[in-house]
Amino acid sequence: MKPFLMGRSEAELTAYAGERGIPAFRARQIASWLYRHAVCDPDAMKNLPAELRTALKNDFYAPGCRGAETVASPDGVEKLLLTLYDGEHVEMVILPAEDGRVTFCLSTQVGCPVRCRFCASGRHGLVRNLKAEEMLEEFACGVARAGRPDNLVFMGIGEGLLNFDELAAALGRLTGEFGMSPRRITVSTSGYVPGMERFAALRREYNLAVSLHAADDATRAKLIPPHFRYPVQDILRAADAVRESNGRQYTLEYTLVAGINDSPEAAEELGRLAVAHRAKVNLIPYNETGSEFRRPERPVIAEFERRVAAAGARVTRRVERGGRSTAACGQLRSERVNHGGEER
Ligand code: SAH
Ligand code: SF4
């Protein structure tokens, strides 16, 4: 396997130039294309000589991933289906907000080993982890389409904390070379406690979002299979440790599923937990993805939100965006890609 050009530091590029007898200033030019312009295709690096562009394409994956398809919806949301160097696919999403701010949603794995029962990303299990460089290329694809984002969320396909080293390396480059503030980056986890502990040990001001979905373990067990599921109390303890490490209030994400976790009592219990742990709540009405689950009726969602707020918690609701067939993470890949091969 070749190295990726995206993600190489200026020092690595200088060493590469040295080995090939290329002047060192070329390494600075390449780094500038990669990190100031978020360009990973040597053919677009206009100030490089043609032979250097060819050498880069031979010696590196440059770029390693290409846009295969873009699905735009009337509210401005764009989903990019990306083909990776080995023919696998992931999605990245560009979400413009009404105030003009733009958020990118990035994937961390091809498929997902957690296999939450409601989620299209996990339906066929894990195919492979993404390399840090591939996450950076997702970012670059978004920049090419929409310019630099205001915010970045790792809420696409995959459980990033199960691919911790690559995620951490990508975060390092995003806040280093790419110059993003860690406060503008959010990592979402299904509650993988060992990964949350490592996340706390980074001691950086990244935001954490925890996909709790239920305030009690019995309800959670209806949505999340056992192999990567941790007790609610352990998850909250780990999330508290993240807050103590970086001073950032975390978010409890709660995918609302009809008849499973949408009762008035569940709302009150969630509100109580959020207050006790000083967490925000983000309600995500379920996007139906061909699973056995259904989205609650509108009044049920409104009443749930009201009760969480009445318990004293700060609560927001994710507005439905991105059009019906592509609203949920993993749905586009799942619809477009023929999942032959082994399931894990
Ligand atoms: N694996 C991480 C991040 C990716 S999923 C995690 O689980 O947190 C990002 C969020 O989207 C999670 O809160 C997940 O529960 C939610 N989600 C996935 N599929 C969904 C669907 N079909 N409808 C609503 N929310 C969904
Ligand atoms: Fe994986 Fe998150 Fe989907 Fe669960 S919700 S299967 S953890 S991507």
Residue-wise pLDDT for 38-96, tens only, equals 999 999 999 999 999 999 999 999 999 998 899 998 888 999 999 999 999 999 999 99
- Nearest ligand (C-alpha, residue 153): 1
Categorize the per-residue pLDDT at 342 as very low, low, confident or very high, splitting at 50, 70 and 90.
Answer: very low
Residues 78, 91, 134, 166: which is the catalytic one?
A: 91
- For the CA of 105, the nearest ligand: 1
User: Would you call 166 a catalytic residue per the annotation?
Assistant: no
Average pLDDT over residues 235-239: 98
User: How far is residue 136's CA from residue 133's CA, in Å, rounded to a whole number?
Assistant: 5
Instruction: Tell the residue nearest (CA) to atom 24 of ligand 1.
Output: 286
Please answer whether residues 106 and 136 qualify as being in contact, where contact means their C-beta atoms are separated by less than 8 angstroms. Answer: no
Task: Region of 76 please: left (phi>0), alpha (psi -120 to 50) or beta.
Answer: left
- Of the two residues 319 and 27, the one the predictor is more confident about is 27
Using 50, 70 and 90 to split pLDDT, how confident is the model at 335?
A: low
Look up the pTM and report it: 0.95
Task: Give nearest CA residue, ligand 1 atom 13.
Answer: 211
Label the pairing between strands 126-129 and 185-189: unpaired
Q: What is the pLDDT of residue 218?
A: 98
Output the ligand 1 site: residues, CB below 6 A. 118-119, 155, 159, 188-190, 211, 253, 255, 284, 286-287, 289, 328-329
Longest dimension (CA), the chain: 69
Quick check: 322 pLDDT over 80?
Answer: no
* Residue ID of nearest Cα to ligand 2 atom 4: 116
Shortest-distance ligand to the CA of residue 210: 1
Query: How many Å lie between the centroid of ligand 2 and the Cα of residue 155?
Result: 9
Q: What six digits make up the tokens of 8?
A: 């190489």
**Has 329 been annotated as catalytic?**
yes
Q: What is the pLDDT of residue 344?
A: 30
Quick check: 270 and 308 in contact, CB under 8 A? yes
What gap in Å lies between CA 213 and CA 191, rounded to an integer?
10
Q: What value does the mean pLDDT of the chain take?
A: 93
Q: At residue 190, what are phi and psi to the nearest 5 degrees?
A: -75, 5
DSSP letter for 256, please: E
The answer to whether residue 339 scores a pLDDT higher than 50 is: no
- Whether 212 contacts 234, CB under 8 Å: no
Give the containing element (helix H, strand E) for 81.
strand 78-83
- The DSSP symbol for 4 reads B
Distance in angstroms (rounded) separating the CA atoms of residues 328 and 320: 10
Query: What pLDDT does residue 115 have?
Result: 96
Please name which of 10, 64, 58, 2 lies closest in space to residue 34, comparing C-alpha atoms: 10
pLDDT value at position 328? 58
**CA–CA–CA angle 3, 41, 184 (5° rounding):** 85
pLDDT value of position 337: 61
